[in-house]
Amino acid sequence: MHRPALSLLLLLIAMPAVVWAQRDLKVIPDTNPDNERESFTVAEGFEVNLFASDPMIASPIQINFDAQGRLWVASSEVYPQIEPGQVANDKIIMLEDTNGDGTADKSTVFADGLLIPTGVLPGDGGVYVANSTELLHMKDTDGDGKADQKRVVLSGFGTEDTHHILHTLRWGYDGMMYFNQSIYIHSHIETPHGVRRLNAGGIWQFRPETMELDVYCRGFVNSWGHHFNQWGADFATDGAYGEGINYIFPGAVYVTAADARRLVQGLNPGSPKHCGLELVGGSHLPADWQTSALTNDFRAHRVCRFVLEEDGSGFASRQAEDVIKASHGAFRPVDIKMGPDGAIYIADWYNPIIQHGEVDFRDPRRDHVHGRIWRVTKKGSPLAKPMNLEAASVEQLLAALKSPDMWVRTQAKQQLKQHPRSEVVPQLAAWMKTLAQDDPATAHYRLEGLWTYQALDEVNQPLLAEMLASPNHNIRAAAVRVASQWHDEIANPLEVFTTAVRDEHPRVRLEGVRALATIPSPEAMIVGLEATRQPMDRFLDFAVWQLANDLAPQWVPALQKAIADGDANAKILEDAKAHPASWAFAMEAIPDAAVAEAAIAIVPSDDAATAQRLVQLAAQRGDAALLGKLFTSILPGGNRADEAGQIAPILKSFLVAMETRKTKPEGDLAKIENLYGSSSPEVSALAFDTAIAWNVASHDLVRSYAAGDKELPAAARVAAVRALAKIPGEPTAKLLVDLISNPEASQEVRLAALESLAAFALPRASGQAAALLAKEDNTIPPTAILAPFVSRKQGQIRLAEALQGKTLARDQAQLALRAVRSSAQAAPELVAAIQAAGGLAGGVRQWSDEELAEITKLAMTEGDPHAGEVIFRKAALNCFKCHAIGEAGGKVGPNLISLGASAQPDYIVESLLRPSAKVKENFHSLVILTDEGKVLTGIPIRESKDLLVLRDGEGRETEIAKETIDDRAEGRSLMPDGSIDELTTQEIVDLATFLSKLGKDEKFSIGNRRYLRKWSTLAYNDESNRAINRTSNNTVAAGNPAFVWNPIFSLVDGGVPLAELPVYRPHRDQPPFGYLQTNIEVATGGKFQLALEGPEGLSVWLDGKPVPTSELLEVDWQPGTHQLTLAVNLDARQKPVKVRVVEENSTGRLATSAEK
């Protein structure tokens, strides 16, 4: 079996930045705007016109309209980095359409001399500008259209990366300003209310009038989109992460947040990266577009639309028809806004090169002088009549709150803030009286009134109470969020939030839970946990989890005190004993060891599952005395001695306590040997593991078990052999050598023996490993043999020495070489030793600049992308192991869904042939040396002050306690050198061509149809064939212990190639068959339509039951896992198998990967 340890392609981990001598292969798109527009495929019924272009503007970054309907543009010709001697002259530009023909005819440079301004937002009599470390406010005081006054509003924002600095300025429905920062930024902002800090990405909330600044949510890699729907629910996009639309709520934590222990995931996992975000709301656009999310797939030259639908406490998102799909390589939509006329305006950065992480700062193909603003309108639909809200009276502004256009309502509230408060508040009150309280037609107007009070910072408790009691759950949820802002100014906020937590609608409950964080008290925690006793979903689950952490400083001491005082009447202890499952949730949510005693105190006698959770938590968190009591309880005679279901979790928790806290129980720990012979294989194995961790294993007894002198389950014997690593000495070494060399021993026992021997006798273990590798009839995979040495300090050097003079079979040597090269720190000595022993050609092929240039040229002109996709899917290369294309594939490397649209062909080719020339940001590998001498390598995916989590080349996640780390260093690419050396030049050309088409060519783009892409195929073996022969194809759907299912992913177009299906011929007189199966996770129950694109030759089973085959299957599924099985008649069918979920005709919703 040829199975390399790592995948072929960690492409974006290794996007090189070396400039070739032949880099004259420049593909510069035509800069004529008319030609660019001709490349657009526009949504049916819509049209596009050019609103503004160079020389009016260049390289627009963000756009926003002011109250007069003028479009403001932040632009940068300097990006990504100012050149030595260059004078910074980036600009803020104001565009005007003075005659209303949909085209800008006036351009004014409002401010220049800036350095990469990343945001612009008109307001408060001027314009806010995100400028490096500062948020500025600039004004024109003399009416000449030029800024002549500048004020630093906030300063102290980080500047570690120019495309992560302060950006995405936007006014909220509540009159507050929101803006973002990204992953590499560390901000420390001094305000009159104290210093506010945000490390890494997140969204800020700011009230300029009072200078109140708060972190609204944390996380994201590079979020350049944030907006609210008509009810105040908000969403975000991420320009450097693939989860599509993200549902946002206060206090939520998203990917890459600093020190995060738990994250909220997006609504469209596997989606391309998106920049900018607008929520549709206006009279010009059609009804079925209202509340849709519009965003930009700037890598693939697309403007996308997502349909947002309510789903539990959050939302679901489904991609719909693209607004624009361009074939022009420089169309780079980065921002999108609804205009005063109801049209859609798109900022086109216009550049064949994007970002600066993968491409040279000075790449000559970068465009610094062009830029476009495109305008999308609905054919035949009247445009909204633009209003000059800056000149409007208070009465007119209040009337504007009824506008169907969200832009108008938002600007009206901003302008009301500019009028004297004494004038606005009475007129607002009078206006509210004209709106019926019990009329659904005026309900949203009244909500706008509440938000206007909020924007004015004028508390109106009677109106708030009315909105909190609205029959519309959207209004109730919005009102709870307003109440959370007014929590210190309204009467009985705890009562308000208690009602919300008990609401019938889950989103109101979510808002209530998050609002409770504003009332730091044990009572608030008691109320918040009520939510766990109602239906939960992933958003509510996180909200309660976060509340437990927010309020831990209040509820943990209160619960401890009640237990210490024996105060059974204390409200918190009374509630904890009445609802132990809810409090188990709270205790599990926080990392505090102080809850261990409390966990034991509330263990219920009538709920075994909750009791196990609490006991296990106590074992993980407790001090030595508490652990000692638990240890005694599981020994013979203890009160848990007969409950294997509790013993195993407690032992696992002991291991966690030892690994993360170096804490073990008090007492005679050698008594652990009483559990070695447990009737439970799991308990027996864990007992040996625990004895190892505690270093109390009896030498003779453990050796006896390891040698097989005493009967043990297989897993327990392996654990006993592993325990010998802590019992060094000649008797142990001799036993281990005997086990390694014993062909009758199981592979698991032999490998455990090799690992244990390497722990204390590395040279001797190296000799045994070399002997195994050289043995002709060895059946142990070289990768497994090498593992103890690749991951151990000096291991590779000692193994290289042991291989001197040995001869390896060529195939063995090839596999061994791949395993070594797959490690982040491959020792040249071991590589050379394997090559010599196996008679392999020395070294990895070194590709010249000329060869890379020639392959690039061929890939652009002669490569076959279809042949390249076949190569990408080869089992020997195993690309899918590390990479996904959309939802299908691994997570070790970046998603390749739009690689071809974002990277130039020469960079793709160099990444294939020189994989470690440069490592892409966010995918640097780390090499960790532990205090036990182990070497661990992987991509860091999460890090807190106590814990580092790595994802290795196999996709496994490993948690490493930081106190066990002796040293850490940045590693090379996880893509093995020489991975494609055995491919022919034409195969490399085809592979590069395929990769360069991903997301760029329609035939190699995922699109918005929901194909089933993750399948399993039935591996062939004689026993499986006999099982089908004895019965029928029905057996495949029913299941059989002999069946082995292997993963297989679809082609980019959604089809599964028939040639990749193992062939079965159960009966001589029947046609050959292949079998496919997939599990479908349903999040929201309902009716689903499954389209079989060509049902020929297919037999279908749903949840194990045969159903008639047709082009369209209709099913009614409840939440949970459902199974689709297909038998494919390989004589009757000639084309790939494609199955699509017809989402637009389905009332239910499939789960995202975050919910599985």
b/e map 302-330, b = 16+ CB within 10 Å: bbbbbbbebbbbbbbbbbbebbbbbebbb
Q: Is residue 916 predicted with pLDDT exceeding 70?
A: no
Confidence of residue 929 (pLDDT cuts 50, 70, 90): confident
CATH number for the region 1009-1155 comes to 2.60.120
pLDDT tens figures, 330-389: 999 999 999 999 999 999 999 887 765 556 666 767 777 899 999 999 999 999 998 999
Q: Is residue 919 predicted with pLDDT exceeding 70?
A: no
pLDDT tens figures, 932-944: 777 777 778 777 7
Residue of higher predicted confidence among 616 and 360: 616
User: Worst-scoring range by mean pLDDT, 7-11, 175-179, 777-781, 1083-1087?
Assistant: 7-11
Q: What is the pLDDT of residue 176?
A: 98
b/e map 723-733, b = 16+ CB within 10 Å: bbbbbeeeebb
Q: What is the pLDDT of residue 885?
A: 86
Q: Is residue 28 predicted with pLDDT exceeding 60?
A: yes
Q: Is residue 827 predicted with pLDDT exceeding 60?
A: yes
Residue of higher predicted confidence among 14 and 502: 502
C-alpha separations of 450 from 175, 207, 415, 471 in Å: 11, 17, 16, 16
Q: How many residues does the chain have?
A: 1156
Taking the C-alpha atoms of residue 535 and residue 311, their distance in angstroms, rounded to an integer, is 13
Homologous superfamily of domain range 33-378: TolB, C-terminal domain (2.120.10.30)
Q: Is residue 535 predicted with pLDDT exceeding 90?
A: yes
Q: What is the pLDDT of residue 592?
A: 86
Q: Is residue 8 predicted with pLDDT exceeding 50?
A: no
- Cβ neighbours of 673 (radius 10 Å): 17
Are the C-beta atoms of residues 1027 and 1073 closer than 8 Å to each other? no
880-885 — which CB contacts under 8 Å span 24+ positions? Answer: 880/7, 880/1049, 881/6, 881/7, 881/953, 881/954, 881/955, 882/6, 882/7, 882/9, 882/10, 882/953, 882/955, 882/974, 882/975, 883/7, 883/9, 883/10, 883/11, 884/270, 885/998, 885/1006, 885/1049, 885/1052
Percentage of the chain exceeding pLDDT 70: 94
Q: What is the pLDDT of residue 159?
A: 86
Percentage of the chain exceeding pLDDT 90: 65
What average pLDDT does the segment 623-628 reach? 94
Q: What is the pLDDT of residue 846?
A: 79
User: Worst-scoring range by mean pLDDT, 189-198, 820-829, 1042-1051?
Assistant: 820-829
739-745 — which CB contacts under 8 Å span 24+ positions? Answer: 739/706, 739/707, 740/768, 740/772, 741/768, 741/771
Q: Is residue 645 predicted with pLDDT exceeding 70?
A: yes
Confidence of residue 972 (pLDDT cuts 50, 70, 90): low
Q: What is the pLDDT of residue 16?
A: 36
pLDDT tens figures, 742-773: 999 999 999 999 999 999 999 999 999 999 99
What residues does CATH 2.120.10.30 cover in the chain?
Answer: 33-378
Confidence of residue 5 (pLDDT cuts 50, 70, 90): very low
What average pLDDT does the segment 266-292 reach? 93
Enumerate the β-bridge partners of residue 344: 338, 376
Confidence of residue 881 (pLDDT cuts 50, 70, 90): confident
Q: What is the pLDDT of residue 754?
A: 96
What residues does CATH 2.60.120 cover in the chain?
Answer: 1009-1155
Q: What is the pLDDT of residue 928?
A: 80
Mean pLDDT of the chain: 90
Q: Is residue 140 predicted with pLDDT exceeding 90?
A: yes
Q: What is the pLDDT of residue 1002?
A: 85
Q: Is residue 974 predicted with pLDDT exceeding 70?
A: no
Q: What is the pLDDT of residue 374?
A: 99
What average pLDDT does the segment 564-579 reach? 93
Residue of higher predicted confidence among 528 and 1029: 528
Are the C-beta atoms of residues 880 and 889 closer than 8 Å to each other? yes
Residue bearing tokens 């999460």: 942
b/e map 85-121, b = 16+ CB within 10 Å: eeeeebbbbbbbbeeeeeebeeebbbbeebbbbbbbb
b/e map 254-263, b = 16+ CB within 10 Å: bbbbbebbeb
pLDDT tens figures, 286-311: 999 998 999 999 988 999 999 999 99
Confidence of residue 266 (pLDDT cuts 50, 70, 90): very high
